Structure 1
Amino acid sequence: MKIENTRFQMPVGQGFFHAGWVGFPEAEERFFYVYDCGAMNKFAFERDREIKKLNALVGDGARLDLLVISHMHADHVNGIEALVTDGKLKVDTIMMPMIEMKERLLSFATTAYEDPASAESNFFKDFIVDPVAAVSRFGPRNILLVGRGDGGAPGSGSPDDSPLDGGPYLSGEGRGYTWKLVGQGSADVRSLDADRPQIVAIPDTSAIKVFEFGNWQDAWLIAPYVDEEITAKNDLFLTNLANELHITVAELEGRLSDSSFSLDLITNHADKLQSAFKSCHGNLNRTSLCLYSGPAASVAVEHGCQVQHGPWVSNLGHQRIAWLATGDAKLSKDAKCDALLAHFKDHLDKVSTLTLPHHGAAGDFNQKLLTSTKPSFCPVAADEVNDWQHPAASVTRSVASEGAMLLVVNANETTSVREYVWTGTP
């Protein structure tokens, strides 16, 4: 039994856009997923170019089985509307982290300060005010809201492998493959209506398990992890914003449940949001959904891993074929990094490719990421913006010292990363 995974890191400049497919030799279709789609406005041309290339590759009207949104910054989401509207991709299931309104406002303020043109997008404003309503317009069948769970990512052949409590109906299929939501914890159905997307809150101790119909054991896992904000620091932003609005913090928090108030803030008072952000710039943390894409079980004796970056093609002989993305997670603190590593501990020995957190920023990096996963490749999605050090020289040295290859993916088409991996038995 053979499982194949093809994945691309798209060259969109300062942003993030990743697409992957999981397939089986006898299947007519492959499970298709995307992790983030966006770029700073400076790179709008490159972002739209890559969206058009992906649509041309899969064909108009193709089904996107899973769209994963890591967090609320515009450079990770402002391409989604173009990707899945106008008769292009038809998204089946959307997965994103649960994020409170005050942190969503902070994400908008960050974008308004660093990339004002992106903050003008109507979709982005709607997404900040009500993420579920904003993505519901794309007609998905499911919207999965992921929060922290009690435990780690599910593995194979363990009790974690059973369907999630309360959510045995969370599944899908194509011609030749099936997927089910498995893991520990319970699904909390928040909306179940035949005419609208079903909205379900799930813990990150669950995962999507993709397998060939009738072969449950040989499977691929798409497993999330939610790295949460540090509330004590981000509350400073809320205090500053209350001062800008000349109201108390308690009054501000009380009014954030009113979507019309939040929409008015981002539409008519972006200057106040920016000012509140500037006064605490550098001490902020964002909730970010990290993602594992790899075998559910141990890699078989027969396997392969080929990576192409520009003119270079690498063929690996070891059994590491999985991909692990860290989004914009702030992992510099040992406790936060340790929590992520503990969550994926049963899968770290399968990882060949580790995307560096927050575009390779030194303030979000931790050496433990490399020493614990021992990746061969470390893609970093980054380009020249102001004096930002993305990737930082210290991070570059750390990657080199661990014997891994740094793959900088910028706006140049030649910097895209294509990976093809497979595992199976004769």
Structure 2
Amino acid sequence: MNNIHSEEPLDGKHWEWRQACQCAEVRVCSDIARNYGLSLIAEGLFRSIEEDISDDVLEHALEHIKQSFNTEAIHKECQDFLEKERKDAEHLSARTARLPSSHSRAWKRDDTRHVLGHHRYQLPVGQGGFHVGTLRNLGLDEAVWRSSLGDDAIPLADFMYVYDCGAIPIAGAVKAVRSIVCRRVSRRLDMLFVSHFDRDHICGIPHLLHPKKGLQVDTIVMPYLDDIERIIAFGRSAATSAEPRAERFYRDIVVDPIGTMTQFAPRQIVMVASGEEGDTDPGFFELPPTEPPRSDPDGPPWKINGAGSPRSGVPSARRTPEGAIVVQKVEFNIADGIEGGWLLKPHVKKAPLQDREAFCAAVEVMLKWPRGSFRKKAQSKEVRRLLVTKHRTTLSRAYAWAFGEKNETSMSLYSGPTKPEEAGAVVYKSKERDCARVGWLGTGDACLLDPQTVRKYQDHYSEELDWVTTFMLPHHGSAHNFDPDLPVVDAELWVAAAQPKNSTWKHPAPGIVKAIKASGAKFRKVDSSPNSLLVERMVVFWPG
């Protein structure tokens, strides 16, 4: 503001005149600022000061200021401020916008210091789950950025992960595995995530990790389930028959999951325990402490954080007698540098305790075991083997009675850029957005039907949900697992991995598909047709 040139006050109160001139100057400046849609921070303060100044003195001060004040300077200040805001907004947009690859300024990221290419594939295996994600450090060469969108990412990936690998019938998964393996020259798979122990999500694993014909996995991540929960998972599928090669592996992993996975020689097996309030796995705290999981010194670097809001440091870890590492509320930060990276964040949704207890009681009644004896008996590997080979019908009937159409424990997975609010992206055939919303959320067979469960789910992913653009419907789009009136996330693309032409299941549910389309979002069904393959390609930038 200009210096105030006071004149002799009419009433001789010098201090009142000076305050009146200051208030008058603020009024003049505020009037000018409002013409530009701006406001002065000090306006409220000076309005309160005016209450102690007489109307006559204030009116005289206004006339004096209007005659002596340099209004052109204030107009210039407002114009300069708006121009700076415009340039700042353009600069922010240039850094953080999500743009299609054809956009004129898609690749103009002048202050970029870290660039990742990310491709993800939802493979057309039919009724099942098989998701592949890749990450590649693209450096600072714009030509490499552009070409990466058209490249087959699987041979070139610095880091590759898989979320579930199975199908019914198994032929769809085997065919997809062969395609992946033959393109992955290094034969390296950095992480395998298993959502739950159901045939149509795991039966392809022996082919994917075959010692001679498959990939060599570094880290396997799966939910931490006790003996009872794995038998419950078997009971859900026991009513349906399966091909012998799929059934053998399924029985083995229910009886001894760690031993079964160890045969594939992973460097480490990580089990994620539920950390939800009121549903913490009691066995977690009975295990001895151990070092948390770490990245392979000879492979792409990654680190783990404790998941939560805000994120915590390295979470505590426990070790099972078989050598697996058990953690709670964990996230994996895959990065080549500190500027930016990729987040893989699991969440374990446990089956309700009352349903688990009802299942145990039903088995005890049907097998004429003493009441309350099932849990202790199930600790024996021989008893578990006997149950899955000789008592399929019993387990199936017990599951139907205790769970009905509900599902057992399942592990979801979020995949998206770290620090997404600072990142920008170019996405092949995508709509323009003012932020790098490129995240993906897979749900396995999680049951997201009641408001309390949905709220807990949203709390766990509170920092990620706004960045999700692609959402995998749970249990292939079943109405028994998802209520469109309780939306988990405002996704742009909703995907169901399902084979709808089947007499046993009818996925995805027509009502869910109708609700998604009515909301204005896109829906995509990935089935056994090769044309249904879903590929999402993007380049993500972080400023230095």
TM range (shorter): 0.7 to 0.9
- Show the 5 A alignment for 1:64-79: 64-79=189-204
Q: TM-score scaled to structure 2, two decimals? A: 0.68
The structure carrying a bigger strand percent of its residues is 1
Q: Which deviates further from its counterpart, 165-174 or 388-397?
A: 165-174
- Show the 5 A alignment for 1:154-193: 167=291, 170-172=294-296, 177-183=300-306, 184=312, 185-190=315-320
2:211 corresponds to: 86
1:7 corresponds to: 120
2:430 corresponds to: 315
Letter in 1 for 2:397: S
- Could you tell me how far apart the structure 2 residues matched to 1:404 and 1:56 are? 35
Tell me the CA shift for residue 8 of structure 1: 0.3
Task: Give yes or no for the alignment of 1:388 onto 2:527.
Answer: no
- Could you tell me how far apart the structure 1 residues matched to 2:486 and 2:303 are? 29
Q: Deviations over 1:215-263 (max 9, x none)?
A: 2231110001111111212322222211221112312222110010110
1:310 corresponds to: none
- 1:225 and 1:291 in contact (8 A); partners too: yes
- Show the 5 A alignment for 1:25-424: 25-26=138-139, 29-40=157-168, 43-59=169-185, 62-87=187-212, 88-117=214-243, 121-149=247-275, 167=291, 170-172=294-296, 177-183=300-306, 184=312, 185-190=315-320, 198-203=323-328, 205-212=329-336, 215-280=337-402, 282=404, 284-300=406-422, 302-306=424-428, 314-318=429-433, 319-367=436-484, 370=487, 373-383=489-499, 384-424=501-541
- 2:339 and 2:542 in contact (8 A); partners too: no
Tell me the CA shift for residue 38 of structure 1: 0.5
Letter in 1 for 2:317: A
Q: Which has the larger radius of gyration?
A: 2
Tell me the CA shift for residue 415 of structure 1: 0.5
Q: Which deviates further from its counterpart, 6-15 or 180-189?
A: 180-189
1:154 corresponds to: none
Q: Which deviates further from its counterpart, 352-361 or 389-398?
A: 389-398
> The residue matched to 2:463 in structure 1 has which SS?
coil
- Could you tell me how far apart the structure 1 residues matched to 2:276 and 2:170 are? 39
- Could you tell me how far apart the structure 1 residues matched to 2:422 and 2:326 are? 34
Letter in 2 for 1:39: A
Q: 1:354 to 1:174 in 2, by over 3 A?
A: farther
Letter in 1 for 2:456: A
The structure carrying a bigger helix percent of its residues is 2
Aligned length: 393
- Could you tell me how far apart the structure 2 residues matched to 1:179 and 1:369 are? 35
Tell me the CA shift for residue 95 of structure 1: 0.4
Q: 1:84 to 1:257 in 2, by over 3 A?
A: same
- Could you tell me how far apart the structure 1 residues matched to 2:497 and 2:481 are? 14
Tell me the CA shift for residue 350 of structure 1: 1.1
- 1:10 and 1:416 in contact (8 A); partners too: yes
Letter in 1 for 2:121: F
- 1:31 and 1:174 in contact (8 A); partners too: no
Tell me the CA shift for residue 388 of structure 1: 2.2
- 2:366 and 2:394 in contact (8 A); partners too: yes
- Could you tell me how far apart the structure 1 residues matched to 2:304 and 2:486 are? 27
Tell me the CA shift for residue 119 of structure 1: 8.9
Give the unaligned 5+ runs of structure 2. 1-113, 141-155, 278-288, 307-311
- Could you tell me how far apart the structure 2 residues matched to 1:415 and 1:53 are? 16
The CA RMSD over aligned residues, in Å, is 2.3
- Could you tell me how far apart the structure 2 residues matched to 1:377 and 1:108 are? 32
- 1:211 and 1:218 in contact (8 A); partners too: yes
